A and B are shown apart, each in its own frame.
Chain A
Amino acid sequence: MILLALDTASAATSVALVDGDVILKFARHVDARHHAELLAPMIASVVAGCAVDAVVCGVGPGPYTGLRVGVATAQSLALAWQVPVVGICSLDAVAYAARAAGVTGEFIAAIDARRNEVYWARYGDHRLAGPFVNRPGELDPQLLTLPWVGVGADPQYPDATALAQLAMPLLLAEVPLAERITRLAIHGTDDGATAKQLGHKQLLPPYPLYVRRPDAVAGAKA
């Protein structure tokens, strides 16, 4: 099973093509303002004519503009290829990469939310709480005694290979659900039903985890 994974939830744009445990191709660019320009050419060079069986997308939380570029791209690729598309919490990818880098025990995974805020979630064996968005000053001081990964340290960014490795066993184990996942991706809302049916919290519908409510400032029409 060949997975195409992509993430745009942080300053990084990352794309991976993975076959089982084997990373076939991987690309990453760090540029917080140009996900939209970088992503499609990166996918084109990573996929390079290879047949993809499923698309996995980081659904944040992350700054919305870049995040939506990734999610819209993943949904549309899956639609055109007629393959399933699933979401993975991008903080789970940070946590996965942290574990792989040797972080043990409880810790916090975080992604810069801009505007002096941070998206974060607490991890032990699995995600214990979150995702949330806060100003650093609002956080319970106890949380600050835990190790933090993803802010000012490596692994700083969600990584598409981590997404693929999180999604792969779930997709392999639950092939009959693939069609339902596709339908959910196309018509559904984020009720978490598919993730629950899979008995796992990591697989999500391919829609952004916004966490914040939208700012309401009206503009004009073109």
Chain B
Amino acid sequence: MISEPLVLGIETSCDETGVGIVRGATLLADEVASSIDEHARFGGVVPEIASRAHLEAMVPTIERACAVAKVKLSDMDAIAVTGGPGLVGALLVGTASAKALALALGIPVFAVNHLAGHLVVDELEHGPLPDSVIGLLVSGGHSSLVQMAGSDFQSLGATLDDAAGEAFDKVARLLGLPFPGGPWIDEVARSGDERAIAFPRGLTAAQDGAANRLNFSFSGLKTAVARWVKQQEQAGTGVSVPDVAASFQEAVVDVLTQKALAACQDTGIEHLVIGGGVAANSRLRALALERAARIGVSVRIPRPVLCTDNGAMIAALGSRLLVRGATASDLSFATTSVLPIETVVLNVLN
């Protein structure tokens, strides 16, 4: 078994064409081509536009990553690629390319779980993860709590409706902020008062019960923000966008951090890693560190550029699997729009 494998990772689950190269847990290149500007006027990612952009960007992005890493494709020990979840048409461009590279170079291909990649990417910044760690995954499509041990991922809880990032996008649109809304809310909230409006914290009341202790719900919050804005407008009192943004953001990160630390306490695991696009949120990062320190839990969050979708996270996960002796995917593997976090690597799903 190679201890420091050279792995190229390809990510095309949404609008970013990402190619990363790692040697073991060392990041050598992380190149991303985004088609987000082409989607902005539609208020969301358009699958056909994303798929076309992936195909145009795929080979140039691979070449750029190799140039930055100063390695040749023929040096690779393995290819890793996002097998799901994501937009199937977009995933197919990356997986077709990955299969072709693996077959042409005579090396294994690992079709991996995008969600697991968001958590494992932290190894590129902070070194190997502890043997047991709680993962909080927060992105536009997912809000989940995961217990990770080696290559074994177990779901502890998930959102029952909207994902955290989805709530950010919807509230941003309500406040007239551009798409994607997450970074804008973060920015605008800096000059607002997070205690100005008491928005609801979903599934945190005693009557929500033990079954939902580690689950999330953000649709009620989104509705509450919409109702509040409408009431203010009808009353003619005006809306302070910074105050609404800050109060909404506080409600989201309050719930996320509470539940992540509850998962640590329930399992007795003293390490938390946070990943996904929403992990770039400055208030989430600050509040998680502050609250975890109080109960002696260590928190790891990759730097913001590694939180968004990228190829490095896929390469990092591929490297981790290869080092741990995981079985590679068969060339006939199928991509899938829905993939539970427990399935870290796809073999043949037919």
Complex interface residues of chain B between 124 and 162 (CB less than 8 A to chain A): 139-142
Complex interface residues of chain A between 36 and 79 (CB less than 8 A to chain B): 36-41, 43-44, 47, 64-65, 68-77, 79
Q: How many A-B residue pairs have CB under 8 A?
A: 146
Whether B188 is near chain A, meaning CB under 8 Å from some CB there, is no
Looking at the assembled complex, report how far the CB atom of B218 sits from the nearest CB atom of chain A, in whole angstroms. Answer: 13
In the complex, residue of chain A having the shortest beta-carbon distance to the beta carbon of B114: A222
Residue among A37, A80, A222 with max Cβ neighbours from chain B (10 Å):
A222
Looking at the assembled complex, report how far the CB atom of A221 sits from the nearest CB atom of chain B, in whole angstroms. Answer: 3
Q: Which label, helix, strand, loop or mixed, suits the secondary structure of the B interface?
A: helix
CB-CB contacts of A159-196 with B at 8 A, as 1s and 0s? 00000000000000000000000000111000000000
Q: Once the chains bind, are B59 and A207 in contact (CB under 8 Å)?
A: no
| Interface residues on chain A, size class | 35 or more
Whether B224 is near chain A, meaning CB under 8 Å from some CB there, is no
Q: Once the chains bind, are A220 and B166 in contact (CB under 8 Å)?
A: yes
Contact partners of A70 in chain B: CB under 8 A: 96
Closest CB pairs A-B (n = 10): A218-B44, A221-B140, A80-B104, A76-B100, A222-B141, A214-B48, A40-B99, A72-B96, A40-B331, A76-B97
| Interface residues on chain B, size class | 35 or more
Q: Once the chains bind, are A75 and B58 in contact (CB under 8 Å)?
A: yes
Contact partners of B166 in chain A: CB under 8 A: 220
Sample (30) of A-B pairs whose CB atoms are under 8 Å apart: A36-B95, A37-B333, A38-B332, A39-B99, A40-B96, A40-B103, A40-B332, A41-B330, A41-B331, A43-B100, A64-B48, A70-B96, A75-B59, A75-B100, A76-B59, A76-B97, A76-B104, A77-B103, A79-B101, A80-B104, A207-B56, A208-B55, A214-B46, A214-B48, A217-B46, A219-B45, A220-B140, A221-B140, A221-B180, A221-B309
Whether A215 is near chain B, meaning CB under 8 Å from some CB there, is yes
Q: Once the chains bind, are A218 and B46 in contact (CB under 8 Å)?
A: yes
Q: Once the chains bind, are A64 and B51 in contact (CB under 8 Å)?
A: yes
Contact partners of A37 in chain B: CB under 8 A: 332-334, 350
In the complex, residue of chain B having the shortest beta-carbon distance to the beta carbon of A80: B104
Looking at the assembled complex, report how far the CB atom of B16 sits from the nearest CB atom of chain A, in whole angstroms. Answer: 9
